Amino acid sequence: MAVNSSFLYARSRYYGEVKPENLVFNANLQEFAQRVSIISCLTTGGKLSVEEAYTDIEKLWQQLESSKQQLGVGEHPFQIEE
């Protein structure tokens, strides 16, 4: 029986300012949250040590920060584009 991937990796609707960089960052943020949730469950279930979980989440966080910097999200939060 095939599992519907949209069920496992559900995406929430984006309500912020619609700009390409914001949409990409939002997708990255949702993927980060999904992966952290999975790591947390694996740790709670005894399948992953606390140290491994911390290291994995730290790497994911660094990737998310890098994504934010590369996309330039939030650099000019009060600038109005014409």
At 5 the pLDDT is 59
Residue-range domain boundaries for the chain: 27-68
At 10 the pLDDT is 61
Q: Are residues 51 and 57 in contact, defined by beta-carbon separation less than 8 angstroms?
A: no
- The model's pTM is 0.78
d(CA 11, CA 22): 15
d(CA 20, CA 23): 5
- Given a cut of 50, the residues of the chain with pLDDT beneath it are 1
pLDDT for 14-23, tens place per residue? 888 888 899 9
As separate numbers, helices (DSSP H) first and strands (DSSP E) second, the chain gives 3, 0
What Å distances lie between residue 21 and 29, 35, 62, CA to CA?
12, 21, 18
